[in-house]
Each structure stands twice: as structure tokens, then as C-alpha cells.
Structure 1
């Protein structure tokens, strides 16, 4: 973090920062060194509700030359109601799409972009081990600390019991998930888009629960000696269970590796509010509406992947807030195009006996049919690639339920995939994120040694085992496990 005294603007080369524009500022460091910086800002499209923003900045300093690569600035109040706020990145990378004359050492940078995604079984034989990896993740099944030692045995049990039903779903969409193939195509398209903008970068794909695993991608990044990395999760909205889980893996790997710990990294935690993404989603919706005989009568039905309520209320997951903001921004864009259809948001893919975000997609579909809605356009808003939750859950299960409930006309917006406007916006996001890259763990000192008391550890294991045995015998626990695996 830098204080307001670290950089003093002494000359403004452009008078104002406007939407989509950049301002160059000639800065004077407190030591007297002069440098040229720019501020790149963009704001959401609704100009009727401007808000004053307190901008907090952090920066990294190149130790070899003392040059500030730049800062990333964000309104700290950003959580809900993002319309009217401004997002800024400060650095020395581009100006109006053209490359600046960068210092010579910048030209030697070897840039990498790591795309993160869920992963999926590619064959029916992969389904059970894939499910094991999924449920073994403590960000998916959050056990109390005392029972963490049960994580893997429980994951094994659930994966074995759920595998037959899951195999049926994957068999219905061709015998495996297309997610890896689509993500590879997105990686190739992103590399091409970046080259078009003058940036050569290595693109890596890291999956959380199946090949190529995130760990494999990171090892390749290390072998390639990447000197500056942008991490881009392919989840528009942040959730503990998606982006958060993937970032946790990265943090663990980077903390324990001398090279990786000092690698400048910029993580794009969420990007649903980007103008390019919003417009790309609106384009797809507008196009699909035209396939209905009466487009203005169609209900736009946003279906998002759900998360347990406890993630939001107890762990502070911003997912629900970001999802609601995302829907608001998409609808604002549609209204700007004079598309004023009614819309609603629901959450799909709940598992187990715990409370998930409501309303539930299956329940809302039945209610809409009972209320007389006859035309429905489903929009998978939390997914940018086709996979089992779009191809089987939405296209088959929910479509059947909707038609059975009285809805006569059904349509579905495809996932963004390699839509050119979407890929172009991801390329812009990467370029804007580059200047803010900083080392995750810059300290080169020895790792902290934790003194574990073996006696206390045995007591915890013994106590936990007794409690676990009691809970597993209880009727409530039996019912919970049954609901989770069926």
C-alpha cells in the first residue's frame, strides 16, 4: 500500500478521466525521481447515479531500476450497487491501444496467463475419481476443524455412491464433459487476441478437479521461467467454492516455492462488471429473443449455480451480491437497447441437506408455469463454457420440467465460449491487470516452523473420532449422508 505522499501529480497531460479513457500523469516521487504514469479508468454504464469514490492504491517497485510498474486502484466500498462507480488501473503499459515506449527491461518480461476452471471427467471411467477430488475439497464440503480428518473418507464414500447417477448424466451428453476442450479453445483464442493487441503471452490452463490440474499448470509456468503472471479464473463472479478454492491452491504452492513466491502475480478475482462481458451477454440474449414468435412476451430466466447460504452469511462470500449486481447490469444494457422483458434469477445445482441460495431453479420453473408464463429464455449466467450443468441439467432436466409445468416455448442462451467480443474483453482485462502484478510472498527468509505438540494432536484425533462415531450413528447424520449422496 502506498500513502498519498508517495506520489505527487505535478502535471496533468489530459484534463479529465472519462469513461473508457486514460489520463497520463507526470509524477514526482518523494525521493525526487520523476516518472510517467497513466491512469486507466472505466465505469459502469448508468451515469444517472454517480458516486464519489475513495481510491485505495497498491504498487510494486522494480528492485533493479526503482521503476514503479504501477498500481491497482479500486473503490473499497465495492460490493453492491456497482453502477456509477469507477475502476482504475495505474501503470505504464498501453495508451489508447498503442504500446508505449517501455523501459528495456520490460521488453524482456516473459508474460504468462493462467486460466482457472473447474474441470470435468472426459470419460465415464473418470467420473468417480473426479467426484472424489470435488468432495475432498474443504471449500466444497466445509467440515468443522475437529472433523477435518474425515474429509477424504467422506469424499470417498460420497463419490462411490453418487458415481452411478452422475455417469447417467455424462452419458446423456456424450460420455464426458466438453469443458477441457472448450477451455483449450478459449486459451488459444485469448493468445491470438493478446497478440493482436501487441502482447505475446504464454497461456496455461489449470483445472481444479481434473486434468490438467492447476498444480500441473503451475509447474509448467515455473519451467517456462515466466516473469510476470496474470491469473484469470473463468468464473465471472467470485465465490469461495470456485475462484476462492483455486486461489487457495495457488497460495499454498507459491508460499512453499522460492521461485514462485517472488513471481509478480496479478489475480483477477471477478470480472462480471466489465463492460465487454455485460455487452457480450446482452448480445446473446438479444439474438435468442428473436427466435421466439413474440420476443417481447418472453421471460428472461437467469439460472446461476448455487452455493450454501452459510457461505454467504457466515463466511462472507460475495457471490450472491455479485450475481445480483451482474443481472442488474445486464438488464440495464438490454433496456438501453429498448428490450424491456421481465426477468428473474434463480439458483441451480444444490446438493445435500443444507440450505442453499434461494429461489431454487426447479421450484421457480413450476411457479412460473402456474402463473401463466408461456415463453421462457434460460440464461446460464455463472457459466462461460458448456458443461454438464448447461447441457444436461438445464437443456434436459429443467426444459422437461418447464414444459411439464405449462411453459410452451423454451429457449436457452448458449454459454459465451469463444465469442469474439468476450475473448477481446478478457484480453483487455489481462493487459489492464499486468501493471499491478506483485509477489505473493516476497520474503526470502526461511519458512516459519510450527511446533506441533504430538500429545495435543492425539487428544484431538481421539476426541474427534469419538464424536464422529456418535454423529455417524445418529439418525440425523444418516439422513444427511443419504440426502447428500442421492
Structure 2
């Protein structure tokens, strides 16, 4: 039986024009695992309010970061897919959860190449309802409807893989080599606090108090986004030998008025600048590909906030993107899967 790999990232509008941005946002925000309220309320919010106000502003933001080759996230993901393919003897396809590079097309590409067993690899180090889970659910739905002959293996969150921590740490160390900085901010994409509770398989053990994230052996950690972000920071700080007080974890990109994971990145940047921090570095480990949230929200808006309150040097550390060593991590996941499947067979 032929094996194949499907890499899946978030997605992007086809162009930075308001019409395409509106179409993309509509698909993204109507996902019940992104905005997890009853459909009538989600429809009212998204189609009645957001899509009538946000596309123009988002299109303006996309235009700031758009490359000649297209969307940075798409271009970087394609480069990564090519490198992973060059390392492996099995077919590797690329798909996006939202947008025109659909998961269905990615699955079809692999089936056309003779694949009957597929390993999906969501390009998110940490598990979240709005990222990994929605990909898994969409794959299951498509396989049941269009590809019932396929056997699919999921990939768990890889935030705690040692090779990932090593490569992430190396990428940070390379950017900061020779730089004098006072504080490094680990900024992760935010999610509503209720997403953490909904993902708690222990039905109530999560206290959202900042303590249970660090309790060893808690079963809910397998699906706790907050825990996985916090531990990513801890492991990288340990690898880099960072001193307590010189780094912190924050969350960005909140939407609406519900409580989201705290502390917020923008407010932390502002507070630290006001407190006298002059040289800050920032890394975004929830993203493997630079995109709107890293290139515009952090590298542009974040830096502007920092300078407005007296900050001087704002160093943005790139995502892993298409680094050779990151491509090797994905290759390692595949070879481990193939080896396990061979032993079982």
C-alpha cells in the first residue's frame, strides 16, 4: 500500500483585494471551532457585522506584507513542502484549511499518486481547537465522503519534540547572536479561554490559574493549548540558558469581547516600554510560517507600539519557515511513522 504525506497550514486569501479577503474571512470565521457559538449567532456576527466592516481593513494589512510571488504564508509553505519532498521517497502534498488550496485537493493529489495510507501533519506545534482539531475534523469528513478507501494517521502536537525545541532555539540564537537585548517575548496566537476548557478531557481539572499548566503528568495537557505554549517557552528558555525575568509568554490576535488568554502581547509591549525596556526581541512559536499575524501585527504594529512608548530596538525573530533543519524535523516524523507501521505490519 502506498504511503503519502499531507502538510496542512492555515491558508490565505488568493489576493490582498477586499473581495478575496472577504471570501477567505467568511470561510475562516464561520468555522464552528474558530468562533464556537451557535450557528445563528456566528452567522449574525460574521455575515452581519464582521464581513461588512473588516475586509477592507484586513485587505490593507495584507497589502503591506504581500510578496511579488503571492501570500508569504503560501509561498513559504510551498518552499517547505518542496524541501520535505526532496528528503523523502513518498509523495508529499500541501493543503490549506481555508482558501483555494483545499484539503480535498491535497488528498486527491495523493490518491492520484497511488496513496492508500496518508499521514496528515498540521503545521502547528501546539494543539488548539481552531487549528489542529479543525484540520483533523475536516480530513475525517472528506475521507468519509470522498475517500473511504484511505487510511489516515494523525500527527500529535510536536511542541515537546526535542528536535523541534533544538531547531526553534537555534533559530532564536542565530538572530540574537551579537545583539544586546533586555527582554525576549514569546508571543503565541491567542484563543478564547473557553477553548481551553472545552479541550479539557478531564472535564473540569483545568483551573485557568496558571498553575495546572506546569503540573507534571496532567492528562489534559495533551490537548491544552495554554500548557503547550507555556512549556514551549520553558523548554526553549532552558535550552538557551535564559535567566528568569528576561523572557515571558504572551498571546496576540484576540477578537471580540470575551476573555482570551492573557497576558496580551500588545499591552505587554506597551507596558514594558513604559517601564523602561529599551531593547526587546520577540518570537512567535505558534506559527511555523511568517504571515499576517507575524509580519504585520508583530513586526509593524508591535514595533510601532514599542517605539511610541520609548522603546528603541525591536528585534523580530522569523518563524521557522522553510529552514532546512525544520524540514528535517517533518521528515523525522514521517520516517518514525513509516518505521512504526512496518514493525506493526
**Structure 1 length-normalised TM:** 0.62
2:73 is aligned with 1:179: yes
User: 3-state SS of the aligned residue for 2:60?
Assistant: helix
User: 3-state SS of the aligned residue for 2:36?
Assistant: coil
Deviation at residue 163 of structure 1 after TM alignment: 0.4
Tell me the equivalent position of 1:464.
none
Deviation at residue 223 of structure 1 after TM alignment: 2.7
Deviation at residue 262 of structure 1 after TM alignment: 4.3
Choose which of 380, 383, 390 in structure 1 pairs with 2:284.
Answer: 380
Tell me the equivalent position of 2:196.
312
| Bigger fraction of residues in helix | 2
> Of the two structures, which has the highest relative contact order with CA contacts closer than 8 Å and spacing of 6 or more?
2
Deviation at residue 273 of structure 1 after TM alignment: 1.1
User: 3-state SS of the aligned residue for 1:227?
Assistant: strand
Tell me the equivalent position of 2:158.
271
Deviation at residue 171 of structure 1 after TM alignment: 1.4
The CA distance in 2 between the partners of 1:252 and 1:436, in whole Å, is 26
CA shift in 2, pair 1:205/1:153, >3 Å: farther
The CA distance in 2 between the partners of 1:412 and 1:331, in whole Å, is 17
The CA distance in 1 between the partners of 2:332 and 2:316, in whole Å, is 28
Tell me the equivalent position of 1:212.
101
The CA distance in 2 between the partners of 1:283 and 1:235, in whole Å, is 18
Report Cα offsets for 1:241-287 as digits up to 9, x if no partner: 00111111011112234xx3343322112111112211111112112
The CA distance in 2 between the partners of 1:138 and 1:437, in whole Å, is 33
CA shift in 2, pair 1:414/1:405, >3 Å: same
User: Structure 2: which 5+ runs fail to align?
Assistant: 201-222
Tell me the equivalent position of 2:209.
none
Contact residue 383 and residue 415 of structure 1 kept, 8 A: yes
The CA distance in 2 between the partners of 1:132 and 1:349, in whole Å, is 17
Choose which of 190, 210, 217 in structure 1 pairs with 2:84.
Answer: 190
1:235-250 superposed matches below 5 A: 235-250=124-139
User: 3-state SS of the aligned residue for 1:208?
Assistant: strand
Contact residue 14 and residue 100 of structure 2 kept, 8 A: no
Tell me the equivalent position of 1:330.
236
Choose which of 5, 14, 21 in structure 2 pairs with 1:127.
Answer: 21
1:136-151 superposed matches below 5 A: 136-144=30-38, 148-149=39-40, 151=42
The CA distance in 2 between the partners of 1:327 and 1:390, in whole Å, is 17
Deviation at residue 153 of structure 1 after TM alignment: 5.6
Tell me the equivalent position of 1:401.
305
Deviation at residue 435 of structure 1 after TM alignment: 4.8
Tell me the equivalent position of 2:185.
301
2:279 is aligned with 1:364: no
Report Cα offsets for 1:63-104 as digits up to 9, x if no partner: xxxxxxxxxxxxxxxxxxxxxxxxxxxxxxxxxxxxxxxxxx
| Bigger fraction of residues in strand | 1
Contact residue 121 and residue 130 of structure 1 kept, 8 A: yes
Deviation at residue 376 of structure 1 after TM alignment: 0.7
The CA distance in 2 between the partners of 1:435 and 1:284, in whole Å, is 29
**Count of residues in correspondence between the two structures:** 314
The CA distance in 2 between the partners of 1:219 and 1:291, in whole Å, is 48
Contact residue 122 and residue 178 of structure 1 kept, 8 A: no
User: Structure 1: which 5+ runs fail to align?
Assistant: 1-108, 195-199, 439-486
Contact residue 135 and residue 159 of structure 1 kept, 8 A: no
Deviation at residue 110 of structure 1 after TM alignment: 2.0
CA RMSD of aligned residues (A): 1.9
